[in-house]
């Protein structure tokens, strides 16, 4: 064993760029996060919601509400939850795409879930030195309107020098091909970083480093049961398809970076205070 994973699992992660760890957290812990997320949404004034999250054209949909959310807790709407005038088509509890991006720092329930000895040991076993929790997101993948997340690399949106971001994706409900599970390209991380989502003041742009398109035929589904954890290398190309089923697919994600790596000001996510580790 290497920490919480075996030598074989570590080798599989290095070869594939991802690793599924069944039953990493208890169902009760998943349910507690779902209950807390529901309470956070309930406390939001529906009239204040207006920022839509989209990966179809993220540069176009980036606004001040998004840019200033790196050390805040904010709700973002599904594209199909609003009409052309920006009015909600459905109840807000079924309209939120995600909550981000500092749940792990600002909410005690999410902080307790995110900072455990088990997670610290896992991240150390994966070779992340002085790990810092940079970002967290609660993703709803709503029934019928859950938006597509196009194929991407996490290091596009959180780039360090040298690259070192790790994604931790927790299934809070069963995730299947029917309700929008993750898909990934085995070994795709070996091809290097394809693009960077760059911040320049109050503007953003996508900086293309390698225009070679991903071969989406190489994607494989990463179905997961409630409590499973999927670990993603920062360069692993992955995606999720729209959820047109009647079943939601709630998930919680953490992104961890090595504390010794440079975190450029060109990252969209900027914080007023430095990111903390697992303590």
Structural domain includes residue 176 = yes
pTM of the model: 0.95
Query: Whole domain around residue 208: which residue ranges?
Result: 7-258
Distance of CA 208 to the CA centre of its chain: 21
Domain count, the chain: 1
Give pLDDT tens digits for 100-132. Answer: 999 999 999 999 999 999 999 999 999 999 999
CATH number of the CATH domain containing 198:
2.60.120.620
Q: What is the DSSP letter of 274?
A: P
Structural domain includes residue 236 = yes
* Distance from C-alpha of 223 to C-alpha of 75, rounded to nearest angstrom: 26
Structural domain includes residue 138 = yes
Structural domain includes residue 270 = no
For residue 65, is pLDDT > 70?
yes
Please report where in the chains the tokens 């909550």 appear, as a residue. 99
Structural domain includes residue 12 = yes
Structural domain includes residue 267 = no
Structural domain includes residue 265 = no
Structural domain includes residue 277 = no
Give pLDDT tens digits for 19-31. Answer: 999 999 999 999 9
Backbone angles phi, psi at 75, to 5 degrees: -105, 140
Q: How far apart are the first and last CA of the chain?
A: 24
Give pLDDT tens digits for 128-141. Answer: 999 999 999 999 99
pLDDT of residue 53: 59
């Amino acid at each position: 064993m290497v920490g919480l994973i075996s030598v074989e699992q570590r080798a599989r992660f290095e070869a594939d760029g991802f690793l599924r760890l069944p039953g990493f957290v208890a169902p009760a812990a998943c349910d507690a996060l779902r209950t807390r997320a529901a309470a956070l949404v309930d406390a939001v004034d529906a009239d204040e919601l207006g920022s839509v999250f989209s990966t179809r054209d993220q540069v176009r949909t980036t606004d001040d509400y998004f840019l200033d959310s790196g050390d805040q807790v904010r709700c973002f709407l599904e594209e199909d939850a609003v009409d052309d005038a920006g009015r909600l088509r459905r109840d807000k509890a079924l309209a939120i795409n995600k909550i981000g991006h500092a749940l792990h720092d600002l909410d005690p329930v999410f902080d307790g879930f995110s900072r455990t000895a088990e997670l610290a040991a896992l991240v150390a076993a994966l070779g992340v030195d002085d790990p810092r929790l940079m970002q967290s997101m609660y993703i709803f993948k709503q029934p019928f309107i859950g938006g597509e997340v196009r194929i991407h690399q996490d290091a596009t949106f959180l780039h360090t020098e040298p690259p070192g971001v790790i994604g931790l994706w927790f299934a809070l409900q069963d995730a299947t091909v029917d309700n929008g599970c993750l898909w990934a390209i085995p070994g795709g991380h070996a091809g290097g970083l394809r693009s960077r989502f760059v911040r320049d003041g109050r503007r953003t742009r996508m900086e293309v480093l390698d225009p070679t398109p991903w071969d989406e035929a190489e994607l494989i589904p990463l179905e997961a049961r409630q409590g499973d954890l999927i670990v993603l290398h920062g360069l692993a190309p992955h995606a999720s398809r729209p959820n047109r089923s009647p079943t939601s697919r709630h998930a919680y994600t953490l992104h961890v970076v090595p504390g010794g790596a440079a975190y450029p000001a060109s990252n969209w996510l900027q914080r007023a205070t430095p990111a903390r580790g697992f303590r």
